[in-house]
Structure 1
Amino acid sequence: MSSQTVALVTGAAQGIGRAIALRLAEDGLDVAVNDIASNSESLDTLVDEIQKKGRKSSKCIADVSQEEAVKQMVEQVVKDHGGLDVMVANAGVLGKNLPFVEVSGEEWDRVINVNSRGTFLCYKYAGIQMVKQGRGGRILGACSVAGKQAIGTQAAYSASKFAVRGLTQAAALEFGPHGITANAYAPGAIDTTMMDSEPGIRDAMLKEYTQRSPLKKIGAPGDIASLVSFLVKKEAQFITGQSISINGGIFFD
């Protein structure tokens, strides 16, 4: 398989996605970055940072839950950069912290549409492009410790991340004969702005997951970026279909 040269990272305006985009640029890849329109200015800043590292970059405003938007996003990356070798389907949302019976149909759809449908669409259109190119590739998605062991007050989120594991395995089976690997990273508690999505959740999560970890700490976005960096490399060519736990030991597979 040829060396990877062009990456697309979704949900890249902040947190884990931003760290992944910068790390891949440091590794020598050109990186297109995606997020929704409300995060456009943050993407502009990120594009500038990537370019200052000597790599080509571009921004793609798109809602990954919309099929035509994902199709056009991939087409735009190919037009701007000449191809697509690495798809990191990182975009995701956290569910509202609710008892199972209080999760509305609307809340279910909101979380599933981004986390599961969005991942499926990114895998699909990246796979189409990579097969067409005939030079292999890397497809990666965002799973979670909640995709290994459900969180009781996060029914929709847990289900969405379990779905990512199944999607990743299916993609690995289908695209493997074309030299394309498909894997997911399954983080535990990572210190990002997602922790601030609901009032008071940050302090509670920091305390709980620090106590649960044998390392007595939570993760940083750079920890996930390091794993993605390896999975993109030639040395990871024999790893596929995996959702790799990276959680400080709060859950063992």
Structure 2
Amino acid sequence: MTGTEAPLAGKVALITGASSGIGVGAARVFAGQGATVVLAARRAERLREVVAELNRTGARTSCRAVDVRSDDEVRRLVEFVVERHGRLDAAFNNAGVGLPRSPLHLMDDTSYDLVMETNVRGVWNCLRHELTAMIAGGAGGAIVNTSSVGGLVASSVGAPYIASKHAVIGLTRAAAVEYAAHGIRVNAIAPGLTRSEMTDQWFAQSPGTRERAHRSAPQQRAADAEEVAEAAAWLCSDKASFVTGATLPVDGGRTAW
């Protein structure tokens, strides 16, 4: 894309959780819309495969292996982006983990800690360092956090996951209000059922779950990762210049029922 067909042309974007699912979809969409993209996730080899795929198309893409639970690793990631590209214009904080459905009273602390540390502290770590870089850059920016329909309504997953995704929306709103004066917009997306390694594992472990999940929304299907990523890309673009503090459901109508 070029010109008006490339909404992210000239922007430097960071995407976390970029080794699978919505993150890979976002890497393709953001690069396809003209952004210079830095990808981050824990799986270094998978990241390199995604970078190689995109660079063969002429995209400007690089990567770093990062665990978003580590504040130090996230700090060094954002510093890498700024040192390499001079600034950070957009960030898609997409890294997260899920849980199989289980009664709350039967869950142990390990499951709770993994989800909250990744889904909440991970977004917290990313926001702090991304906001610092954007303020220092002086040109504002846009940040999108991945919540879930589980951040809006109770869904068929474990309670800690639902709590974590509600927390992401709270962090999003707080940051949007606090940093509007710096020209920084902060929004969230709330994906519904989306094709990914996580959902494939879920379906494999629970026969019949796929059919029930498809029936849970009016469109009665799962989204492709790129369909969800398009919403994040729009929110990161100047086309969404008057949108901040919002949570955009991308759920095939799941939360309309």
TM-score bin, normalised by smaller chain: over 0.9
Q: How does 1:10-89 map to 2 (within 5 A)?
A: 10-36=16-42, 39-89=43-93
3-state SS, counterpart of residue 254 of structure 2 = coil
Aligned position for 1:157? 161
Cα 1:226–1:199 shift into 2, 3 Å: closer
Q: What residue ranges of structure 2 are gaps of 5+ in the alignment? A: 1-7
Aligned position for 1:136? 140
Q: Which moved more, 1:164-173 or 1:73-82?
A: 73-82
Distance of 1:48 and 1:183 partners within structure 2: 30
Distance of 1:229 and 1:251 partners within structure 2: 21
Say if 2:171 is the partner of 1:167.
yes
3-state SS, counterpart of residue 232 of structure 2 = helix
Deviation at 1:202, TM superposition (A): 6.4
- The structure 2 residue matched to 1:232, chosen from 232, 236, 247, is 236
Cα 1:207–1:56 shift into 2, 3 Å: same
Cα 1:61–1:113 shift into 2, 3 Å: same
Do the aligned partners of 2:203 and 2:209 also contact (CA within 8 Å) in 1?
no
3-state SS, counterpart of residue 255 of structure 2 = coil
* Deviations 1:192-232, CA, capped at 9 Å, x for gaps: 11113447346544211221222222211011111112112
Say if 2:250 is the partner of 1:246.
yes
Equivalent residue pairs, number: 250
Distance of 1:139 and 1:247 partners within structure 2: 20
Q: How does 1:90-239 map to 2 (within 5 A)?
A: 90-151=94-155, 153-198=157-202, 200-201=204-205, 204-239=208-243
Aligned position for 2:4? none
3-state SS, counterpart of residue 101 of structure 2 = coil
3-state SS, counterpart of residue 220 of structure 2 = coil
3-state SS, counterpart of residue 200 of structure 1 = helix
Do the aligned partners of 1:4 and 1:232 also contact (CA within 8 Å) in 2?
no
Q: Post-superposition, which runs of at least 4 consecutive aligned residues in structure 1 deviate over 6 A?
A: none
One-letter identity of the residue aligned with 1:9: I
3-state SS, counterpart of residue 251 of structure 1 = helix
One-letter identity of the residue aligned with 1:35: A
Distance of 1:28 and 1:52 partners within structure 2: 14
3-state SS, counterpart of residue 82 of structure 2 = helix
Deviation at 1:65, TM superposition (A): 0.6
Q: What residue ranges of structure 1 are gaps of 5+ in the alignment? A: none
**TM-score scaled by structure 1?**
0.93
Do the aligned partners of 2:9 and 2:34 also contact (CA within 8 Å) in 1?
no
What is the RMSD computed on CA atoms of the aligned residues? 1.8
Identity over aligned residues, as a percent? 33
